[in-house]
Amino acid sequence: MSSKGSNKLGCLGTVLLGAVLIFAIQYWFVVLFIAVVGIGLWLIFKKGQKVEKAKTAKTGSKQKTNVVNRDALIKKTVVPAQRTSLDFGNIAQVPKTAGALETAKPVIHKLRRKLYDFVVFDIETTGLSPNRSEIIQLSAIKVKKDEVVDWFDSYVHPTESIPTSIVYLTGISDETVKDAPSVKTVINNFKLFFEGLPLVGHNIIKFDLPFLIANGFDVTSIDALDTWRLARGKDFPTEMDNLKLPTLKHYFGIKNASHNSLADCKTNLIVYQKLRDDDLQPVTPEKCSIPQSLSGLRFSITGEFIGIPREDIADSIRAHGGRVTGPVSRVTDYLIDGKQIAPTLIDGYHSKKEIDAAKIQAVGGKIKVISLSDLKSMLSGR
């Protein structure tokens, strides 16, 4: 009986399996669709399980961290029973932020009022950038009740060699400053010298003061009067090309040298007093008191001269009756030839004026090329 039943079930299973296969073959696309949907649902289910596990792990970690932080907080906020008041002594001993004093810059108060007690100062540097260039001379004149009472003058030993262009401009060389003190020493001495008086100078807001501050002039505040700014507000009866200190020096007939900080201080003192008092009339030298040994002669100037600006040479020529022109020509009598240090020389050695003068000489022109020493001999009548 059991054997017959098993045979019947086996036959039935075979029939059903065959029917399923026939259905699958005939309707394969339906079977494929059902399979894809099934696999997709299974993947979504597995991903959901992973997210749930991750949330559970994260929640457990947060709870553990909170417990630890809470325990630490409880320990930190425990105050000894015997401490009943704030310890102000300990509060006062809290250290300041490192470098706070070094980075604090002085407050600069720009003055315009009339000053009779002040310090005129000037610097010479190796360049124009307070962060990359160095101070090589610092000079000052102290004035009280409008009278000079003291002066300060010091070269500064730089950390690098002085550029050739600066040597010719200022006359200050490596040899000049080899035994000079460091900038730190000079700045500290100057801080003692100026006594907190207002500082007066030409273009000091943009140039001189940034150099001082960059090199350790760490005072709380600075009262400063810039004579360039003061000159901008004046109505001069005679027009000038610019308001640079050498230009104002020539305008007011001042005979000090230029590009030496002590000489510039002396010049700036006179310039400030004239601007302050509205004494704006130009001062021209009396030609009758100066030998007109260069009368009728034309000069041109090329190159650089150590410690002597070309504008000063030109002024001397004019004062002695000569005429100064820009380019050389057939009517030029003398070319005053200095050291050629410009990076834009035509052949790397000679200026255009030198080359033009040589061409004129080659065709029989009258121009002569002379040195500064030759000019000085002409001025003295030798």
pLDDT digits (tens, 9 = 90+) for 139-169: 999 999 999 999 999 999 999 999 999 999 9
In Å, how far are 98, 114, 157, 201, 262 from 220, measured between CA atoms?
Answer: 18, 23, 26, 19, 26
What integer pLDDT is reported at residue 137 of this predicted model? 98
What integer pLDDT is reported at residue 152 of this predicted model? 98
pLDDT range class, residue 103, cuts 50, 70, 90 = low
Token pair recorded at residue 339: 């050291």
What integer pLDDT is reported at residue 11 of this predicted model? 66
When pLDDT is averaged across residues 123-141 and rounded to a whole number, the result is 97
What integer pLDDT is reported at residue 59 of this predicted model? 47
Weakest mean pLDDT among 137-141, 200-204, 290-294, 319-323: 290-294
When pLDDT is averaged across residues 277-282 and rounded to a whole number, the result is 97
What integer pLDDT is reported at residue 281 of this predicted model? 96
pLDDT range class, residue 44, cuts 50, 70, 90 = confident
pTM for the complete prediction? Answer: 0.67
Kindly list the domain boundaries of the chain, sorted by start residue: 103-276, 287-379
What integer pLDDT is reported at residue 288 of this predicted model? 54
User: Chain-wide mean pLDDT for the chain?
Assistant: 84
What integer pLDDT is reported at residue 267 of this predicted model? 97
- Has residue 81 got a pLDDT over 50? no
Q: Which fold has domain 103-276?
A: Nucleotidyltransferase; domain 5 (3.30.420)
Digit-coded pLDDT (tens) for 365-375: 999 999 999 99
- Has residue 104 got a pLDDT over 90? no
What integer pLDDT is reported at residue 43 of this predicted model? 77
What integer pLDDT is reported at residue 10 of this predicted model? 59
What integer pLDDT is reported at residue 355 of this predicted model? 95
pLDDT range class, residue 50, cuts 50, 70, 90 = low
When pLDDT is averaged across residues 224-245 and rounded to a whole number, the result is 97
Digit-coded pLDDT (tens) for 307-331: 888 988 998 999 899 999 999 999 9
Weakest mean pLDDT among 110-119, 163-172, 282-291: 282-291
- Has residue 47 got a pLDDT over 80? no
pLDDT range class, residue 87, cuts 50, 70, 90 = very low
What integer pLDDT is reported at residue 14 of this predicted model? 72
- Has residue 240 got a pLDDT over 60? yes
When pLDDT is averaged across residues 31-55 and rounded to a whole number, the result is 71
When pLDDT is averaged across residues 191-199 and rounded to a whole number, the result is 98
Comparing 360 with 19, the larger pLDDT belongs to 360
What integer pLDDT is reported at residue 286 of this predicted model? 67
- Has residue 184 got a pLDDT over 50? yes
Q: Which fold has domain 287-379?
A: Rossmann fold (3.40.50)
